[in-house]
Amino acid sequence: MPYEFKFPDVGEGIHEGEIVKWFVKEGDRIKADQPLGEIETDKAIVEMPSPKSGKILKLHVAAGGIIHVGETMVTILEEHETDADAKKHMEAKAREKHEPKKEAKSDVPYTGSVVGFLEEAKDVKPIQTNKKEITSAIQSSIQATPAVRNLAKQLNINLANLKGTGPEGRVTIEDVQKSGSVKKEVAGIKVTRKYDFFGYVERVQLHGIKKIVAQKMTDSIFTAAQLTNMHEADVTELAALREKEKSQYEKEGIKLTFMPYIVKAVALCLKEHPYLNASLEGEEIILKKYYNIGVAVDTEEGLIVPVVKGAEAKDIKTIAKDIDKLANDARSKRTNLMDLRGGTFSVSNLGSVGVEFFTPIINYPESAILGVGRVTEKPVVRSGKIEARKILPLSLTYDHRIVDGAQAARFVADLMERLQLCEFESK
């Protein structure tokens, strides 16, 4: 007869759950251990695998419905069974539903135990007891401190089930932690707890762009020998130039920030410092003769680094247009795949969210990345006088396998000079 798969006791104190979603539908052919669906309880997410191979005859609870331990979830017509078997089974179930239930007579009454049948003494009247009082008495007799009892309560662990390892059998915090860390899985069921040692947690699946970025950052940090130098550039004159040109750019629908000036200056400096525009392949350093600057963009889906191609040959207005378009495309999920390729150096700007100095991670396999911080006014001594100047924090991370400290310092010195003097043409 078809197999009725009931929601099992998966531990964790779970008695019922909500069917979040089914991975199968009625009529589907399935294999043993294939996931059937996902059930959420107040303590865990349970991914339920099929115990049998065959055909899904019936899903007994719709998505969004509640199922209790012991109730039938799925009826499966096993591979060796026929449609006739399925028909007989369904007819029998229909009869059971409409016929009055008869009490089964047996010399050994059913006890409701999940481990089988237990004999009962027929002539002895049961003693009426208060189960709550008995449980409380047992718990009180266990040697454990209030802290241990509180932890056990949080983790829904019965102290009576633990063997204490402390003096005179006292239950310790370690005993409770060890018990709480044991995974209770039934027949390959995957149980993901919604709490940890300290309380409830929320799990967010790493997917899409965030997953790709996470892998790239891991590859970068475990491959390149990364070192960060930090500097301060005086951009007082550059800030004045930006203010002067900003209104004209706005008339053309272009948002003018410091980034176009920085991207242009970086590209020009890379021509003079080729090892910061390079990558490492085996035992060879590849010096790139083109200057494509990646600009990190923060989107709802994660960090995207579109690339301004040929930045050294473009004017500030063109670079500003490019950055504006690339950022808008990234945030509206219209990025062309080619706009993400071909970068030789990257710039990451956290100044817009109030950060000054940070340690950006190289966009591997590039050899360096520039972190741009928030422009602030600071007192600076000039010609023996203290003046308020606009200061731009710069953080350069570089691959020490390719770039040494002196090369990095000279690159930033040239970059700072260009920004301070507003020089955006080749020397």
Amino acid present at 321: K
Quick one: which of 289, 294, 300 has its CA closest to 339?
Answer: 294
* Residue 268 DSSP symbol: H
Locate all alpha helices (DSSP H) within 66-120, ordered by sequence: 83-98
Q: Which residue in 89, 98, 273, 400 is the catalytic one? A: 400
Q: How far apart are CA 347 and CA 103, in angstroms?
A: 78
CA angle 4, 52, 20 (to 5 degrees): 70
- Is 27 within 8 Å of 5 (Cβ atoms)? no
CA angle 404, 303, 390 (to 5 degrees): 65
- Is 279 within 8 Å of 345 (Cβ atoms)? no
Residue 297 buriedness (CB in 10 A; 0-12 / 13-18 / 19+): buried
| Burial state string for 20-32 with b = 16 or more CB within 10 A and e = fewer than 16 | eebebeeeeebee
- Is 182 within 8 Å of 208 (Cβ atoms)? no
Strands (E), 250-344: 278-281, 284-287, 293-295, 297-299, 302-304, 307-308
60 catalytically annotated: no
Quick one: which of 380, 409, 416 has its CA closest to 235?
Answer: 416
Locate all alpha helices (DSSP H) within 283-358, ordered by sequence: 316-331
- Is 68 within 8 Å of 7 (Cβ atoms)? yes
Chain centroid offset of residue 370 CA:
26
For 225, the enclosing helix (H) or strand (E) is none
Positions marked catalytic: 400
